[in-house]
Structure 1
């Protein structure tokens, strides 16, 4: 996964946990690597199958989703 570009994936309905620490080996999904860091994954309910763009730069105002904020980075 390339840093500062969204991770675009097709998600199925259900509960998803997206990584907030950047250490997960299953990016963009959480694998528990945050334990002890004080950070917690973003819990999202996906209602219908859809493509989602998950933020990897960390500055989106719609976390865990991308809002294009990475375009302002140098």
Structure 2
């Protein structure tokens, strides 16, 4: 099993640009939440999820890593 942790307790609002690739931290070890900074390699965590958006928008990205809709917050941090 991967050594995943909570990266935070609330989502982070992010301005996402169309056609730009993002690496969402899926393990919680990044100090650059909600994005990956490579700490999963030394911490034994899960690799990032790479994603892009079809239109420029603001989105709330999960930091608790419990979402059922990664990388987007679905309110799981409240459970």
Query: Is TM-score (shorter-chain normalized) higher than 0.5?
Result: yes
Long gaps (5+) in structure 1: none
Long gaps (5+) in structure 2: 1-6
Structure 2 residue 46 is matched with structure 1 residue 27: no
Runs of 4+ in 1 over 2 A off after TM superposition: none
- The alignment yields a C-alpha RMSD, in angstroms, of 1.8
> 1:10-25 residue pairs with structure 2 within 5 A?
10-13=15-18, 14-25=20-31
Question: Which TM-score applies when normalising by structure 2?
Answer: 0.76
Q: 1:25: how far off?
A: 2.3
CA distance in 1, matches of 2:8, 2:46: 19
